[in-house]
Structure 1
Amino acid sequence: MTKEIILNAFEMTSAMHNSHGLWKHPKSERHRQYKDLDYWIDLAKLLEKGKFDAVFFADVLGIYDVYQKSKAPSIRDGLQVPLNDPALLVSAMASVTKHLAFAVTVSTTYEAPFGNARRFSTLDHLTKGRVAWNVVTSYLPNAARNFGLEDMIKHDERYDIADEYLDVSYKLWEQSWEDNAVVEDVENETLVDPEKVHEINHKGHYFKVEGPHLSEPSLQRTPVIYQAGTSEKGREFAAKHAECIFVGGPTPQRIRYYADDIRERAAKHGRNPENLKIISFLSVVVAETTEEAEAKFEEYNKVWSADAAKAQYGASGYDIAEYEDADSNEPFEYKKKTEGGHYKAATLTKDAPKKLTVGDVLNRFEAIDRNSYIVGNPKEVADAIQFQFEESGVDGFNLNHLVTPGDLESFVDLVIPELQARGIYKKDYREGTLREKLFPDGNSRLPEDHPGSKFRRK
């Protein structure tokens, strides 16, 4: 059977996402409509029409303020601000779809596991098992200050917190309630059997949670676990816990390196590497002809914001403004270690295809990176997607888009049929929960080789 592409729409419940300055484009609608429920309902219908597996909601808990040591560049261009809570959209979008799933980003650094577990159980109930949790540890200094900390918790310790956070979550989802706890026994006036609902009494280094879980078991119990991170600590965490892992890289070969490394680490944790799906990023500008696609790309470039792009790079912890007066021919190197996002920092150093100069780096922010985009007619775009799919060894993509909803509409109308004709993209959804769709040989619950399954009551 031909391997089929898993496809997620990469989204954010904000005025702008990764389309820096594109709010100025005349066809951009999201910055006006992201507050409107009808906008998200229409988007859900569009994605289900295109047989997307999920809409993946990124999220942050602060303002990007490393660039120029100021929040102003981010606020001025709407860099992931203003921003609403993605979890509150899921029920409405699920009500108008049958198969589309929803991956919601929640940080383990700032939100308590007990409340988060109830959030995901609720969403899993209301969507009939179409929910995933994108586990993040948060990389913005402003987020730390928003939650009462003077400084960010160190990068590696954030993953230690996340590891215990997941154990607490598994205990709540997998251990607290027995499958047949809800008995509906009218004769004995018992809706729920108290003997089958259990405290978890977790006492760890970071968390102390008595329980029991407030929600009865949902179809998946534990939502599908998504994670993104290519640092050493991030890959180890992903190999232990994640079912869908997002990896980035400048070439298919670099992406394959990360994918193979994570699968090898998963095997060392006693997991079947086939129970991991590797997802990379995909950015497309498509039109009916090559000329129209190139013209569209140039239109986008005219309204691009270099300042917003530099501000977003501040997620790495490094301020690009510090290099703007340097000799452009100097090798680009970081001057200190930060506790920001290591994956972002790596894009200009160890993940770059060659050693970059300061000038190379500064120029990268001045326009949309043409090397990161597939631009062309439907056949050209499908050719490039198929090449990346096969060369990188990934299982699918997170589709980025610059102008919303126009770019997604073009992709659904022009590219999806081409991929379907090649047999590398589904024509129909499978039935079942998100986990059953992603892993058709399994079931709606965590597989036995997943660490969360060890908390189940036998």
Structure 2
Amino acid sequence: MSRRLIFLSAFEMNTVGHLAHGLWRHPRDQSSRYTDIDYWMDLARLLERGLFDAVFLADVTGTYDVYGGGPHAAIRHAVQVPINDPMLLVPAMASVTQHLGFGVTVGTGGEAPYLFARRMSTLDHLTRGRIGWNIVTGFLDRAARGRGESGQPDHDERYDAADEFMNVVYGLWESSWADDAVVRDRASGLYAQPEKVRPVRHAGPRFPLNAIHLSEPSPQRSPLLFQAGASARGRVFAVRHGECIFVPNLGPSRTAAIVRDIRAQAVQAGRSPDSLRLLTGLQVIVARTEREAQDKYAEYRRYALPEAGLTQLASATGIDFSRFEADEVIPDFRSNSIQSSAEALAADGQWTVRKLLADMPLGGRYAPIVGSPGQIADAMASWVEETGIDGFNLARSVSPESFADFIDLVVPELQTRGLFKHSYAPGTLREKIFGSPRLPPTHPGAGDALAKMPWPT
């Protein structure tokens, strides 16, 4: 079997502080320009120059308010607040690129599937088939209260609701309009054949629906589906729906175990192993020599705020770390928030606040790989070999410097080793990655609904 080329996406967010908290203070960092459309268009051009497969736009609705019992620390240090809508960036970034894909995070907890399906179809049309959707269920109580609810449902219940949400949007994207419904016959005045358009009927408890999809079929119909569920229930959901699945970076051996488990579950669920791409997070500090890279790393660390990272981690785990003394052992990591985050900490043994802070040298829980282009390429190749992953979600530190450094220094090294592409493949985002514009037959959202359901007469 020929070796698969590494998949690369840039991990971004429509906010100041994403994962490397405090580095917005660096004199060369431009992330505080996040409200400037030129900032995002320039970033899109840069990433396409570097042949990145996609820019992955994370999102969160609600503020981190567990640490200290309120949102004050998050607001003070710009810990993913203020934050703007990532979907609105896509048309501008797509307008200055031809190949770069866009993975947009949207939660199922605060959306109406009927209108959401139209927004995604619109973006698929406007990008000519380059849109992807990162499916999340949400975890912040503050977000639920912003929607008028008392708090988030239980962890597994959120996934149950998301499964139903997916069934509804699959029906809208895949089975409401026939492939040949739109004819655009100027002579007769017939734009679309009404007999080739049918309502989607769903009688589920959360999202009842009886309506046609408002958009005509887009290039991919369903967007490329990203997912990052890492808990036991989350992996079931990821294996059922995801095409590109993010797995947590827990070191090579533990990450490899997760990769093996997900691939095994996919086979058991009837999914083709080739219908998945597994990615993990990575943060890179690179320069022409190892010494220069270490100097740059030391420079970055002077601006990082590990305490701000602790604010984000508190909401991810549901634990208010401000209640503990610096060397007091934190006793319980059970949570209704992101279970995999709590489980990962629990698996690492005893933690103290001092130890957690030391674990976040750049303000977040990413251990950066620091070195020369050759050393970075060695590390990435080793990760692929040892874990079985297909690629990386590259997190920014100083923006856009960290992406530019990677593109100028590491990409040529990966290309020389035959690990990364020299040009983009044609077609939609799904075609570029999987060779087909539509969901594969083994995906539960594809199905043969059009063949099984009789058209109304």
Larger mean CA deviation between 365-374 and 151-160 belongs to 365-374
Q: 2:433 corresponds to which residue?
A: 438
Quickly say closer, same or farther: Cα 1:182–1:363, change in 2 above 3 A.
closer
- Which digits, 9 at most, give the CA deviation of each residue in 1:31-86, with x for residues without a partner? 1x111111111100100010000000000001111111120111111111111111
CA contact (8 A) 1:280 1:396 kept: yes
Give the equivalent residue in structure 2 for 1:382: 377
Q: Deviations over 1:175-201 (max 9, x none)?
A: 100011112234543211111111011
* Corresponding pairs, count: 448
| Partner of residue 63, structure 1 | 63
Matched, 1:282 2:276: no
The one-letter code matched in structure 2 to 1:356 is: Q
Given that 1:310 and 1:365 are in contact with CA atoms closer than 8 Å, whether structure 2 keeps it comes out as: no
> 1:175–1:420: structure 2 CA closer, same or farther, 3 Å change rule?
same
Indicate conservation of the 8 Å contact 1:348/1:361, yes or no: no
In the alignment, which residue of structure 2 is the partner of 1:391?
A: 386
Q: CA deviation at 1:347?
A: 2.9
1:305-324 to 2 correspondences below 5 Å? 305-313=305-313, 314-324=315-325
Query: d(CA) in 2 for partners of 1:40 and 1:285?
Result: 22
* Alignment TM-score, normalising by the size of structure 2: 0.95
Whether the 8 Å CA contact 1:419–1:425 is kept in 2: the answer is yes
What letter corresponds to residue 431 of structure 1 in structure 2? Answer: P
Equivalent of 1:364, from 348, 353, 358?
358
Residue 276 of structure 1 deviates from its aligned partner by 0.7
Corresponding residue for residue 261 of structure 1: 261
Q: Distance in 2 between matches of 1:4 and 1:415?
A: 14
Matches for 1:84-103 after TM superposition, within 5 Å: 84-103=84-103
Letter in 1 for 2:196: K
SS of the residue corresponding to residue 347 of structure 1 reads helix
Q: Deviations over 1:386-441 (max 9, x none)?
A: 1112111100000011100111111100010001100001111111111111113x
In the alignment, what sits opposite 1:14? 15
Partner Cα separation in structure 2 for residue 187 and residue 404 of structure 1 = 53
> Contact 2:360–2:366 (CA<8 Å) still a contact in 1?
no
CA contact (8 A) 2:73 2:308 kept: yes
Contact kept? 1:170, 1:455, Cα under 8 Å: no
Q: How does 1:140-151 map to 2 (within 5 A)?
A: 140-151=140-151
Query: CA separation in 2, counterparts of 1:414 and 1:53?
Result: 17
Residue 27 (structure 1) aligned with residue 28 (structure 2): yes
Displacement of 1:455: 5.3
Q: CA RMSD in A?
A: 1.6
Q: Is the 8 A contact 2:307 2:357 kept in 1?
A: no
Q: What is the identity, as a one-letter code, of the residue corresponding to 1:398?
A: N
> What is the alpha-carbon distance in structure 2 between the residues aligned to residue 279 and residue 194 of structure 1?
42
Q: Secondary structure at the match of 1:184?
A: strand
Cα deviations by residue, 1:131-178 (Å, 9 ceiling, x for unpaired): 110000011111111111112111100000100000000000001000
> Post-superposition shift, 1:3?
1.8
Are 2:119 and 1:122 equivalent residues in the alignment?
Answer: no
Separation in structure 1 between the aligned mates of residue 408 and residue 186 of structure 2, nearest angstrom: 54
Distance 2:310 2:45 in 1: 34
Structure 1 residues 423 and 294 mapped into 2: Cα distance closer, same or farther (>3 Å)? same
Distance 1:210 1:58 in 2: 31
Structure 1: 4+ residue segments shifted above 6 A: none
**1:346 paired to 2:347:** no
CA shift, 1:343, in A, is: 2.0
Range with greater deviation from structure 2 (82-91 or 56-65): 82-91
Answer yes or no: is the 8 Å Cα contact 1:436–1:444 preserved in 2.
yes
Identity over the aligned pairs, expressed in percent?
Answer: 47
Query: 1:408 maps to what in 2?
Result: 403
SS at match of 2:345: coil
Give the conservation status (yes or no) of the 8 Å contact 1:282–1:373.
yes
Match of 2:424 in 1: 429
CA distance in 2, matches of 1:112, 1:304: 38
Give the structure 1 partner of residue 161 of structure 2.
161
Residue 306 of structure 1 deviates from its aligned partner by 2.3
Between the aligned partners of 1:259 and 1:407, the Cα distance in structure 2 is 27
Residues 199, 212 of structure 2: 8 Å contact kept: yes
Query: In the alignment, what sits opposite 2:455?
Result: none
Are 1:204 and 2:198 counterparts? no
Q: Is the 8 A contact 1:139 1:316 kept in 2?
A: no
Q: Which residue of 2 aligns with 1:457?
A: 450
SS at match of 2:337: coil
Deviations 1:311-337 (A, max 9, x none): 110222111122226x54x4x4316x4
Give, in angstroms, the shift of residue 365 of structure 1. Answer: 5.2
The one-letter code matched in structure 2 to 1:249 is N
CA shift for structure 1 position 231: 0.2
Give the distance between the partners of 2:240 and 2:170, measured in 1 at CA: 13
Aligned to 1:134: 134
Cα deviations by residue, 1:8-53 (Å, 9 ceiling, x for unpaired):
000001112111111111111111x111111111100100010000
For normalisation by structure 1, the TM-score amounts to 0.95
Question: What is the deviation of 1:370?
Answer: 9.3
Q: Decide whether the 8 Å contact of 1:245 with 1:279 is kept in 2.
A: yes
SS in structure 1 at match of 2:103: strand
Q: Helix, strand or coil for the counterpart of 1:452?
A: coil
Residues 359-407 of structure 1: CA deviation (Å, up to 9, x unaligned):
6644435633798110011111111111112111100000011100111
Q: Any unmatched runs of 5+ in structure 2?
A: 452-457
Any idea what SS the aligned residue of 2:446 has?
A: helix
